[in-house]
Chains A and B, each alone.
Chain A
Amino acid sequence: MRQALLEYDYDWAMQRVFDQGSRSLDGTRKEFERARSRFPTFGSVMKLFYEYEEVGRAMTGGSAKYINNIVNAQKDGRKVALTTFCMSPALCYAMDVVPLLIEPITAVGNLSRKFGMGEFMDYCLEVGFAETACSAQRGAMGAYLAGAARKPDFVLCNMSGVCDTNTSAFAFAAEALDLPLFQCNFPPQMRGERADEYHRNDYRAMIDFISQQTGKPLDPAKLRDVLVEIQKQDELIVEMQDYQRMIPSPIPTSFNLFMYLLRFLFGGTVDGTQALEAMLKVIRQNVKEGRAGVRGGKEKARALFIYTDHYGGGLPLWNFLDSRGITHLGCIADRFYQQAAPYVKEGEGYVVDSTDLDSMIDTMAALNSRMPMVKQIRGPYDAPDMWLEEIRTFRELYAPDVAVYMGTPGCRNTWGMVKLVARELEKEGLPTLIINADVFDERVESWSMTQARFEEFLDLRRIGV
């Protein structure tokens, strides 16, 4: 690794970027535009974030606070848990632990660094991690393994039984950094008495583990506060996802990303709720005016992303969709399975129950076992509650014109079944595009090549043309 990369701590650098970014609208719009033009990569991200000022402020402010907490945890006397976006951070907030979600931290680096996270990804290989493993973890993990960021205190993995590459990244990091590890493990079935019992036992074991690491028991009052915010956020998300069914959709293209980003980073916090409220304000206005959410105001097509979005430098996916008048109907990352969500069948989702400590923990266990990817890709793709069923439900409710799969070559799990999913969807008349890019590492396929393939598919199938 180049010495230059170690000159400034990665986490500190990210904290500076987001802290400054969150304050860049404090001056005039002219000053903001002038400053934006000086940032070749982050400038286009700032544009996307600040297209709706209040939303942008809430998102960047919340993100800055989130990264600030990580950087200052030691000073504040708090422990840092290295964990994954697939785990709800709400428990960490309730237990006064700072959640360090490795995948969003990789994405954050991609968005703001001129050369992305490639060198940190490669550093993981230098210290022995598998080169074929998922780049989502490899990026930020490289910085932590290289000592270019403050070492966390323990590891919480939430994908055992769901994703090997994710889990082995956390197991590797725990050994390499000599940190205590807890893995939440999921059976192949999502529902049923046995699965519920397993989830609850496992979740309680995780609470015990965190208590051992922090020396503090779970505080029921704090957990209740977190659940109150979760409940508020759930209602806002459900409303947003209900509006998404409208044709044209009134949801601005970037809001889906914002919604899951905030749920991952500051789910269960007041910051998260405020950001969602700001988004809903824009959406309700669009509904009132009968306006489509896409930038041009005219919806030409609707795309359902059946796996992830693309997190390349400058977040090009959303600008591309806007430029073609394509509504983003969501990806796997924004489905949390609140029972009230429009796509959730009876008994499939979780309901917040804050009657007592046990019911609150059970709620968290149910929520955690329904996190994106944890829920859909743990069992056979065509089994009840799993991937194919979810996509079909979305197709029925949200009327997409195209389904798009993109992820990382490290995703063994979905690459093992995506051809089958595509075959089924095509048979049922839904054009389905499989993109071979790595959404965290543009060295695998540049965005311009991905875009060319995307456009070719849309043109060939006459979608939004």
Chain B
Amino acid sequence: MNPIFKEAAAHVDNQVIRDWKARGKKVIGHTCSHVPEEIITAAGMMPYRLRGIESETTSIGDTYFGPFICSCPKAILQKAGEGAYKFLDGAVMVQSCDSMRRLDECWRAANEDYPGILPGFWHYLGVPHKAVDYSLKWFSQEIELFKTHIEEHFGVEITEEKLLEAVALYNETRDLLKELDEIRAMEETPLSGQEAMDIVLAGTALPKQVYNPLLKETLAELKTRKTHHGGKKRILLGGSVVDDPSLISVIEGEGAVVVADTVCFGSRSFEGLVPEDSPIMLTIAGRYLHHQFCPRMFGYYKDRMGLILQKIKQANVDGVILQNIRFCDLHGSENGLFERELESMGIPVIRLEREYGAMADEGRLRMRIGAFLESVSVGNIEKPAA
């Protein structure tokens, strides 16, 4: 695999970002797949999905967040406090979930104690939790306000032409990643789940102008690859944020291959295209608001269950691993519903609760995953109708 993908997936910073910055270009971080990156790209900047990877402690995060909070935003704050995000020129905060929404205040408070860690551009994007006509109107206005804020702060102009270009660029990325999903799902899948996740994660930390050509090359290489992971137990990984490959490496270390996923950062992030027509703000808002694959969008459980079933069928999955980071109530409660429904269909499934980051509880997870995989038979489940 291209070493640029490997570097971008495994580290907060990467060479492409350093080159981008060296050319005087801007980087805007954000925390949620509901942030319309097209706006940032149309402004000539690079959108960057924030992660807390490479954190060895959450001492800074724990200073500002309370104890009963997901370790993901704490780890992001940790990186920010340590100065790892000094390359950001701006950041967008979203009320993605209750833990992540408070990163806004905690980061701002931490800036009082660690001066200079707060990017100059700071924006709070209000994303509704339901997709109806009035919430769509609200959200398209939010995106318009976001656009205006960028234009005024950075002195740039985001034209409709540039927006359409960005939309086309992102749709291309989504199409290519869907192709990756199809390759992953093949009977003799030529890549491991870890490799697939590296490729997807790299896309969150590289400008799409750089990412897309590299992705095309990678897809071409994968199609001719001789090695494969056939014969292994085929797993779908579902649930909350997976933004480093360590969890998948544990699953695959136990003899399985992750052939599909519905995790945040993973495949669900590139579901759905933006229609390339006008009025552009409304179509962008529509794509991001109708993107109901995160349980923050309440009341769309059946759609999400449908996506899981579709992927089980498409990738000929043998078992499902549902995981959530502790204190993620959204995935935590919905995983319970999925588990019950999948089990009633005779699909092997396990629910795991874990901490965010580089496998703080690897031994426990390895043991549970190993035991689960022992109980999974290859090719034994009747594939459900999606």
A412 touches B329 (CB 8 A): yes
Residues of chain A within 8 A of B329, CB atoms compared: 130, 132-134, 164-165, 168, 410, 412
A188 with B126: in contact, given A129-B336, A164-B329 (CB under 8 Å)? Answer: yes
B65 and A172: CB pair below 8 A?
no
Q: Do A415 and B66 form a contact, CB below 8 Å, given A168-B334, A176-B337?
A: yes
- How far, in whole Å, are A199 and B328 apart by their CA atoms in the complex? 27
Q: Is B95 in contact with A415, judged by CB distance below 8 angstroms?
A: no
Chain A residues contacting B382 (CB-CB under 8 Å) are none
Residues on the A chain within 8 Å of B368, using CB: none
Contacts of A128 in B (CB 8 A): 333, 335-337, 339-340
Residues on A with C-beta less than 8 A from B129 are: 160-161, 167, 183, 185
A360 at the interface (CB under 8 A from B): no
Taking a contact as CB atoms under 8 Å apart, the answer to whether B301 and A416 are in contact is no
Interchain CB contact (< 8 A) of A132 among B95, B138, B326:
B326
A164 to B326, CA, bound (A): 14
A228 at the interface (CB under 8 A from B): no
Instruction: Give the size of the chain A interface in residues (CB under 8 angstroms).
Output: 52
The answer, among B109, B299, B330, B335, for a CB contact under 8 Å with A181, is B299
CA distance A436 to B98 in the complex (A): 18
Q: How far is the CA of A288 from the CA of B271 in the complex (A)?
A: 68
A132 to B99, Cβ gap below 8 A?
Answer: no
Query: Looking across the interface, which residue of chain A has its beta carbon closest to that of B130?
Result: A185
Contact yes or no, A419 B134, CB < 8 A: no
- Confirm or deny: B172 has a beta carbon within 8 angstroms of a beta carbon on chain A: no
| A177 CB to nearest B CB, Å | 12
A416 touches B333 (CB 8 A): no
Check B160 for interface membership: any CB of A closer than 8 A: no
Those of A157-177 within 8 Å (CB) of chain B:
157, 160-161, 163-165, 167-169, 171-172, 174-176
Once the chains bind, are A172 and B337 in contact (CB under 8 Å)? Answer: yes
CA distance A272 to B68 in the complex (A): 36
Picked from A133, A171, A189, A416, the residue with its CB within 8 Å of the CB of B298 is A171
Contact: A419 with B66, CB < 8 Å? yes
Taking a contact as CB atoms under 8 Å apart, the answer to whether B67 and A436 are in contact is yes
**CB <8 Å contact, B104 and A415:** no
Which residues of A have CB within 8 Å of B301?
A: 171, 175
A409 contacts chain B at the CB level, 8 A cutoff = yes
B339→A168 contact, CB < 8 A: no
Residue pair A415, B65 in contact (C-beta under 8 Å): yes
Beyond A194-B141, A409-B68, A416-B102, is A423–B109 a contact (Cβ under 8 Å)? yes
Q: Does residue B128 face the partner (Cβ distance < 8 Å to A)? A: yes
Contact across chains for A133 and B332 when beta carbons are under 8 A apart: yes
Considering the chains assembled together, what is the distance between the CA atoms of A382 and B328 in angstroms?
A: 24
Complex interface: chain B residues within 8 A of A198 (CB): 134-135, 138
| A9 interface hit (Cβ, 8 Å) | no
Instruction: Tell me if B64 is interfacial: C-beta within 8 Å of chain A.
Output: yes
Q: Which residues of B contact A379 (CB under 8 A)?
A: 124
Q: Which residue, A161, A175, A412, has most C-beta atoms of chain B within 10 A?
A: A412
B97 within 8 A of A: yes
Interface residues in A381-432 by Cβ distance below 8 A to B read 381-382, 409-420, 423
The winner among B67, B101, B135, B295 for most chain A CB atoms within 10 A is B101
Decide: B337 and A175 in contact? CB cutoff 8 A.
yes
Q: Is A197 an interface residue (CB 8 A)?
A: yes
B333–A133 CB distance below 8 A: yes
A194 to chain B: which residues have CB within 8 Å?
138, 141
State which residues 289-335 of B face A: CB under 8 Å.
295-296, 298-299, 301, 324, 326-330, 332-335
Q: Using known A-B contacts A198-B135, A416-B66, A416-B101, determine if residue A164 contacts B336 with beta carbons closer than 8 Å.
A: no
Asked whether, in the complex, the Cβ of B126 is within 8 Å of the Cβ of A183, the reply is no
Report the minimal beta-carbon distance from A95 to chain B, rounded to whole angstroms. Answer: 21
Cβ-based interface call for A202 (8 A)? yes
Give every chain A residue within 8 A of B247 (Cβ-Cβ).
none
The 7 closest A-B CB pairs, nearest first, are A128-B336, A416-B102, A130-B332, A415-B66, A412-B98, A201-B134, A413-B98
A-B contact pairs, 18 of them (CB 8 A): A128-B340, A132-B326, A133-B332, A164-B330, A165-B98, A168-B295, A168-B334, A175-B301, A188-B126, A189-B126, A412-B327, A413-B98, A413-B102, A415-B65, A416-B66, A419-B63, A419-B65, A436-B67
**Given known contacts A181-B298, A187-B128, what 9 new A-B pairs fall within 8 Å (CB)?**
A130-B324, A133-B333, A168-B330, A168-B334, A185-B128, A185-B130, A412-B329, A417-B102, A419-B65
